[in-house]
Structure 1
Amino acid sequence: MSQTIFQLKITLMGSQKPSIWRQLQIPAGLDFQQLHAIIQGAMGWTNSHLHAFTDRRRNFSIGMPDEFDMDETQDGREEKVQDYLSAKGDTLIYEYDFGDGWEHAVEVQKVLEAEPGETYPKLLKGEGACPTEDCGGIWGYYHLVEAINDPKHEDHEGMVEWTGLEKWDVSEFDQAQAHDRMIEWYKNAADAYDELF
């Protein structure tokens, strides 16, 4: 019996010049905790904050429920991706860090059959550097980029000291490194859940 594969495009909403995105293929039968780990690794995040999968109507919230959960979040370990995505054009929103509000559009580009001998997930390509954690969301990120890259900016010294970088390349993306990180996160998806509790 063949395995169904989703080709997904993950786009960091609000990102620009270049847009920050990753294109990957995953088994349709994964749970949402596994998809969370894959996105964390492929994008370059550090799993330092809570997350949730939802839709534009907020009809559901799938993530990491705890005893303080007020939104009745469904446990991502118990919900399957294929129960919420099934066809080309289907979309979800993946939000990471509710303070900074990093929202990612998750779009099904293709529904495929697994190729014999291939292993999944696979990172096909991507573009754009992942923002640094805790910089204030997408607009804070572009402020940080401007401040670091302009020695005359009033926040230049502070941002350089904070990040340890003299220059920020918004286009930097190492696909091989991102793929290896994605596979590592995927293999340790259960640990990625437990680290925050």
Structure 2
Amino acid sequence: MIYKIRVILDTEEDIFRDLEIEDSNSLEEFHNAITQAFGFMGNEMASFYTCDSEWNQDEEIALFDMSESGSNVRLMNETFLTDILTEEQPKLIYVYDFMSMWTFFVELADIEEKEDGRVYPNVLFSFGELPDSPPEKSFESKPSVDFDENFENYDDLDFDENWN
């Protein structure tokens, strides 16, 4: 089967690519298709994340296991589209280059029969130009404590003084 997938850059402007890829491809092959479609070199770390219908991030599926002792993190080359992207779970988050945090919303749009003579993966449609740098991210709200002020009474702060 062929998955038709829209990959949208997390930015205010509309920047997306519609790709078609075989459901039997690994997430590593899908990662390569995304980087090529957006014009990245493909030499940076990346991860996919499962998510719910509201785009709340869940399990990481990494390009490489970077832990020293080895972990139970899922890897892209061992995970296939058909196992992770379904009609019931049609969304993923993709992050490319952890220093720049290019973030994309990935959504399964359709599943069709494979066409004879067609080469996959394939870019069906390209809209918008990738900016020179990734969009700014705001990861936290305004802190509830002004850390520049001098505290007279540390008992008012919510922490255990014997925390370590």
The structural deviation recorded for 1:97 is 1.4
Question: Could you tell me the TM-score, scaled by structure 2's length?
Answer: 0.72
Q: Distance in 2 between matches of 1:46 and 1:131?
A: 15
Query: Cα deviations across residues 150-169 of structure 1 (Å, max 9, x unaligned)?
Result: xxxxxxxxxxxxxxxxxxxx
Deviations, residues 7-28 of structure 1 (Å, cap 9, x unaligned)? 0000001241xx1100010000
The alignment yields a C-alpha RMSD, in angstroms, of: 2.3
Work out whether residues 88 and 108 of structure 1, in 8 Å CA contact, stay in contact via their aligned partners in 2.
Answer: no
Q: In the superposition, relative to structure 1, how do residues 86 and 121 fare at CA in structure 2: closer, same or farther (>3 Å)? A: same
In structure 2, the partner of 1:38 is 33
Find the residue that maps to 1:39 and give its secondary structure: helix
Higher helix share: 1
Q: 1:9 aligns with which of 3, 6, 10?
A: 6
TM-score (norm 1): 0.61
Give how far 1:108 is off: 0.6
- Paired with 2:24 and 2:2, the residues of 1 have a C-alpha distance of 8
Shift of 1:86: 1.8
Compared CA separation, residues 69 and 27, structure 1 to 2 (3 A) = farther
Structure 1 residue 81 displacement after superposition = 1.1
Larger Rg: 2
Which residue in 1 is equivalent to 2:105? 105
Q: Note the C-alpha offset of 1:107.
A: 0.5
Count of aligned residue pairs for this structure pair: 132
Measure, in 1, the Cα distance between the counterparts of 2:36 and 2:30: 10
Encode CA deviations 1:81-138: one digit per residue, 9 max, x unaligned.
1101122871100011122211111111101010122221111111111233xx3x31
**C-alpha contact (below 8 Å) 2:23/2:82 kept by paired residues:** yes
- Number of the residue aligned with 1:124: 124
Unaligned runs of 5+ in 2: 138-164
Separation in 1, partners of 2:38, 2:6: 11
Deviations 1:169-188 (A, max 9, x none): xxxxxxxxxxxxxxxxxxxx
The change in CA–CA distance for 1:102 and 1:94 in structure 2 (over 3 A counts) is same
Cα separation, 2, equivalents of 1:30 and 1:66:
23
Aligned identity (percent) is 24
Once the two structures are superposed, the pairs formed by residues 148-187 of structure 1 within 5 Å of their partners are none
The verdict on how the C-alpha distance between 1:103 and 1:72 changes in structure 2, with shifts beyond 3 A counting, is farther
Larger relative strand fraction: 2
